[in-house]
């Protein structure tokens, strides 16, 4: 390719494609290289998020929740159902149609914004040159003024449970299970394990989650994690903490899993399918030539500063490839920041306010600091809590599990964190994230008029409770 580009992006997941679109919007001549191919061998954009991550998992979560509601939850509304059945191939087909629509949409956005979409594998060479090996194997070198690395991440594999994509699956295989397994094991009770376990649990699998740590959702606010575990256990998820998987053996059409408890016992459990969800790691295979000048840290992440600049001038890295939470929106915001900085703007990203969601039902969502983090930082703080059991809207929807917890600084009243397990927790948390972005105090949120009856009123009441003025719940004694 003879043309020189202002920006070449490697990877078109939510970090890379957003960076490419923003760069092109700002008048920069931009190309984006993507190596992902669909089942027909055609190059597609969207990365993990659109193809095997956020979107397909949410499609299955929504389908399985509707099935569960129809089968189990409607009687209380006076609706009787019979013969409720799930057609798994139809469910998977719906998911695949959504993927196709969205990945095709990115190709459309590239076109509309003037991004040159290239399909193949990109490799950063020295001197901001990018080698492109296209899907037919032809190799060319592209000159770039700036390069944005956005090659994402891949599931962590553990030798004790080798993925065969038949009985032992990673998160990608778990989105393609063709029939409901009677006994489903999940290694890792983290975000992805809980979401995928919930999908198949709702469809009828007996789900056991084996989690090495003694704490459930160890990085979340403890009170919310405790409440979430109670709710998920009530739903039938068998969550075994302090259970480190040490071996697996495929025996015919079953998998026997051996795990060691924190007490030192060795136990066994047999499953029809086993999903390995022990986290993800940055993906750098074939990305960097030996003389690219880009440093990778001990965890495999490309080393970057707060503006996502690597130590090679003009080379940036964003998304799952770099430090920080592996979340689509975190990568997208980094992509925007980098594109704007390349275009000469003074963009920056607020890493303190990145919402985090588990799309179970109810959802678990958080933004900002946990109570444990605030305490450890030695700050004085107040907490306001409001349970959905006291929300009229939640009662009307028969969806009263969970609570809202807001933490504010005791001296300034500035909101430091919001943690919710409950209906629409993701969207409710986002409301507080917006307030936090504007430096809101709990009092500001308390003075805001909330529509009635809404689930958002639970956020309002929790904000009021921070300063002991909640109306629809007895206020705690002030600290």
Per-residue contact track with ligand AMP, 173 to 192, x per CB under 6 A? --------------xx-xxx
- Residue 328 is labelled as binding a ligand: yes
The DSSP 8-state label assigned to residue 301 in this structure reads: P
Nearer to ligand FAD, 47 or 423 (CB): 47
- Active-site choice (345, 361, 409, 452): 452
For ligand FAD, the closer CB: 181 or 282: 282
Burial-class residue 388 by CB neighbours within 10 Å (0-12, 13-18, 19+): buried
Among 66, 183, 206, 244, binds ligand AMP (CB under 6 A): 244
DSSP assignment, residue 288?
A: B
Cβ-based nearer residue to ligand AMP, 363 or 461: 363
The residue sitting closest to ligand AMP, measured at its beta carbon, is: 190
Edge-to-edge strand ranges of the sheet holding 254-261: 243-251, 254-261, 266-271
Q: Binding of ligand FAD at residue 186 (CB under 6 A)?
A: no
77 catalytic residue (yes or no): no
Nearer to ligand AMP by Cβ, of 212 and 354: the residue is 212
Does residue 42 sit in helix, strand or coil? coil
User: What part of residues 2-21 is at the interface with ligand FAD (CB under 6 A)?
Assistant: 10-16
- Is residue 335 close enough to count as binding ligand AMP by CB under 6 A? no
Q: Is 205 in the site for ligand FAD (CB under 6 A)?
A: no
Q: Does 211 bind ligand AMP (CB under 6 A)?
A: yes
In the chain, how many H helices and how many E strands?
13, 21
Residues of span 421-450 touching ligand FAD by CB under 6 A: none
DSSP string, 354-402: --EEE-SSSEEEEEE--HHHHHHTT--EEEEEEEGGG-HHHHHTT----
Contact of residue 213 among ligand AMP, ligand FAD, none (CB under 5-8 Å per partner type): ligand AMP
State yes or no: residue 279 binds ligand AMP (CB under 6 A). Answer: yes
Q: Which stretch binds ligand AMP (CB under 6 A): 227-235, 261-269, 277-285, 425-433?
A: 277-285
**Cα–Cα distance measured from residue 459 to residue 403, given in angstroms and rounded to the nearest whole number:** 9
On the question of a cis peptide bond just before residue 453, with omega within 30 degrees of 0, the verdict is: yes
Nearer to ligand FAD, 326 or 404 (CB): 326
- Residue 29 and residue 7 in contact, taking contact as beta carbons nearer than 8 Å: yes
Tell me if 403 is assigned to a ligand binding site.
no
* 213 contacts ligand AMP (rule: CB under 6 A): yes
- 34 is in the binding site of which of ligand AMP, ligand FAD, none (Cβ under 5 to 8 A by kind)? ligand FAD
Alpha-carbon gap, residue 99 to 29, rounded angstroms? 28
49 binding partner (options ligand AMP, ligand FAD, none; Cβ < 5 to 8 Å by kind): ligand FAD
Residue 91 among known ligand-binding residues:
no
CA distance 334 to 323: 11
Distance CA 172, CA 99 (A): 13
- Distance, in Å, from the CA atom of 138 to the CA atom of 335, rounded to the nearest integer, reads 28
Q: What are the residues whose beta carbons fall under 8 Å from the beta carbon of 238, sequence distance 6 or more?
A: 206, 207, 208, 209
As a whole number of angstroms, the distance between CA 181 and CA 178 comes to: 9
Relative orientation angle of helices 14-25 and 328-342, to the nearest 10 degrees: 30
Q: Does 416 bind ligand FAD (CB under 6 A)?
A: no
326 is in an annotated binding site: yes
How near is the Cβ of 245 to ligand FAD at its closest, in Å?
Answer: 19
211 known ligand binder: yes
Residue showing tokens 């009635």: 452
Least CB distance from residue 371 to ligand AMP, whole Å?
20
The β-bridge relationship of strands 415-422 and 363-368 is antiparallel
**Binding site as annotated, residues for NAD(+):** 188-195, 211, 279
Interface residues with ligand FAD (CB under 6 A) are 10-16, 33-36, 47-49, 53-54, 57, 121-122, 150-153, 171, 192, 283, 286-287, 319-321, 326-329, 331, 359
Query: Could you give the residue numbers annotated as active site?
Result: 452
Interface residues with ligand AMP (CB under 6 A) are 158, 187-188, 190-192, 210-213, 244-245, 277-279
């Amino acid at each position: 390719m003879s043309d020189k580009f202002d920006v070449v992006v490697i990877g078109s997941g939510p970090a890379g494609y957003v960076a490419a679109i923003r760069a092109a919007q700002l008048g920069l001549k931009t190309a984006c290289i993507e190596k992902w191919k669909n089942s027909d061998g055609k190059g597609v954009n969207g990365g993990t998020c659109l193809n095997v991550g956020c979107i397909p998992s949410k499609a299955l979560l929504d389908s399985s929740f509707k099935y569960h509601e129809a089968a189990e939850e409607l009687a209380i509304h006076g609706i009787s159902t019979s013969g409720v059945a799930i057609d798994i191939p139809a469910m998977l087909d719906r998911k695949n149609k959504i993927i196709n629509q969205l990945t095709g949409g990115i190709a459309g956005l590239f076109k509309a914004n003037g991004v040159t979409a290239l399909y193949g594998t990109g490799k950063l060479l020295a001197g901001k040159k990018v080698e492109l090996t296209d899907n037919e194997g032809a190799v060319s070198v592209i000159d770039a003024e700036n390069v944005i690395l956005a090659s994402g991440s891949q599931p962590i594999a553990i030798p004790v449970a080798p993925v065969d994509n038949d009985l032992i699956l990673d998160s990608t295989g778990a989105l393609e299970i063709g029939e409901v397994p009677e006994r489903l094991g999940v290694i890792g009770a983290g975000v992805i394990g809980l979401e995928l376990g919930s999908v198949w649990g709702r469809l009828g699998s007996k789900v056991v989650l084996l989690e090495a740590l003694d704490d459930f959702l160890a990085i979340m606010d403890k009170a919310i994690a405790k409440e979430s575990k109670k709710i998920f256990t009530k739903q039938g998820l068998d969550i075994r903490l302090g259970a480190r998987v040490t071996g697996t053996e495929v025996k015919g059409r079953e998998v026997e899993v051996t795990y060691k408890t924190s007490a030192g016992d060795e136990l066994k459990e047999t499953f029809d399918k086993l999903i390995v969800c022990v986290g993800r790691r940055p993906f750098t295979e074939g990305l960097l030539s030996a003389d690219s000048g880009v440093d990778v840290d001990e965890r495999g992440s490309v080393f970057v500063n707060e503006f996502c600049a690597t130590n090679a001038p003009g080379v940036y890295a964003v998304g799952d490839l770099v430090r920080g939470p592996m979340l689509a929106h975190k990568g997208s915001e980094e992509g925007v920041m980098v594109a704007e900085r390349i275009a000469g703007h003074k963009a920056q990203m607020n890493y303190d306010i990145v919402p985090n969601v588990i799309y179970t039902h109810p959802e678990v969502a958080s933004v900002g600091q946990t109570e444990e983090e605030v305490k450890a930082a030695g700050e004085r703080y107040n907490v306001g809590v409001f349970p959905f059991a006291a929300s009229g809207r939640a009662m009307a929807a028969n969806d009263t599990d969970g609570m809202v917890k807001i933490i504010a600084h005791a001296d300034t009243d500035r909101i430091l964190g919001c943690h919710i397990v409950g209906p629409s927790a993701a969207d409710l948390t986002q409301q507080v994230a917006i307030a936090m972005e504007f430096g809101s105090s709990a009092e500001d949120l308390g003075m805001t008029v909330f529509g009635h009856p809404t689930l958002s009123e639970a956020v309002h009441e929790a904000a009021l409770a921070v300063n002991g003025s909640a109306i629809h719940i007895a206020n705690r004694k002030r600290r």
